[in-house]
A and B are shown apart, each in its own frame.
Chain A
């Protein structure tokens, strides 16, 4: 019942998105725009500042992820469908998992575009250790989305939710972003510093475990008004 419900919610979100691709296209566009803005800030005399690529990649992910979170839950607010979901007999945490999987899929697509783009534009050897890069991206994105989905869901009924989402989310999520940036920067050094990257991957794993457990545990009481 739990995973079936999660799957249903995910499939529903994909079906909605497939009608217009609205969230996907706007998120991708915004992500690219972010990279360009940072390119102006971190490129000096035609050469990118050292290590800037890792930071730019993660900032673009965090910013576009926040935008996508807001849009996705705005959809559930319109017509109050979030309440209809909460009325379903399934454990409510299953709804959270469904929404989380949708966000992860969305950001995975964005990252598949962002990573090569940053690697090309900043002459960064991001793909020297493809497995580690994927691991870092997955770990960081999971941590970001775990907290982000919970907060966006609970803010659906709050006043000034647009402003409050980044305000609540960023302080808690920045450690995850730091771990992602440091880990990715380790991959960019010549030769790639595998040991450091793996250490940050471990920290990301710890964050993910804590954030996911807490979110699953607190989702039900947080969604009861």
Chain B
């Protein structure tokens, strides 16, 4: 389509790329070209083949067919990693941090010394690491082990490593998925700096706003195929979503008419009193009523995630009470929370959400195995029927309920996790970053599902720092440093909420008076 004509040969040019994994076609005759100095966005729904393209462009996998050229020259041979690294650097979607090694070593993995037989100077390595990290304003001890970092710090280590190769072409596969707003800002500042130096980017994200902020050209993939490449200006958000989904856009869940504000005399389904978990949050009070979706906003260290997990029974708080539908819940026990009617969508589906080798049906019914047959039995027929209903209700794309969940795309895996949470028909649904890494279309339907739960007379607590997630909420409670600092009713502006999450909220409609300290 409207390929911008490059002044000189593109930093990377791939054409006719196809790749299959066993039966799955991940890429089919796909192409991409990134001009020098260009910021090129690659978008598509989950499973569109983006990450597969990345692994081909970085030499991790070889394409079945197609040609690949860097700066007009053929790509290095498979396995010649040094040559690949000179051409392209990459922040992969899956973490490539090695937990047991120090930050410094992770940063300089496989290039700790200049030669295979030359001993490593750890002092020099530490010094270089410190320099590198300060460039990103990440203050971590280079001798710390990577496993002891926060998720965000780890992501910055990852980014710093990729950018430090000095490559003229850098790929970032969903680099912002693990960052909070301020982290994203810092990353973008750095990226713009590099942009000014003429570095070209291939940027993958499910946040269209980021793409419009940063990129000049967009390529859209759908179902393993190239759909369109166009300058950002020629592709507005509607057209973009249409290209991604292949459907005319309907009104999305987020944009739908605002429902009536929930009346204050609706019964309180979730009451949190005086809850304290040392090191994470203190003296939190929160009430959520039937029919209400409450957002629990907060940046990385705000304690909002731990609060959500506490409600779900994963942590035992030191003080305070949780009451669900009028009855106090034993804390620190997931079964107790489940029995009380709490449904839970965990933060990271890979860690806490899925049993990867087991089937979709089994994963979706993991919380309700007691309802699938008499006397503690689990009848396969009922499991299948139950799962089929979930698959239909949540529109999960899977060959069938018996498919191992690991074979699904990220968005669909996330839907299975939500199915698992909804299976118990919870009074209180606690969803932590429910749309993490999920494409825009699935995001809508997932949030729609959450809304629906509330509309049926239950309540939902969305724990997130993503504004898109929080927009569907009737009310957003912002946390900062383990305390509730603000409560925003519908109609808040992005700036208000961001400010609240950063602890600088001093707003007229702040109901809690903790403020900043």
Q: Do A and B come from one complex?
A: no
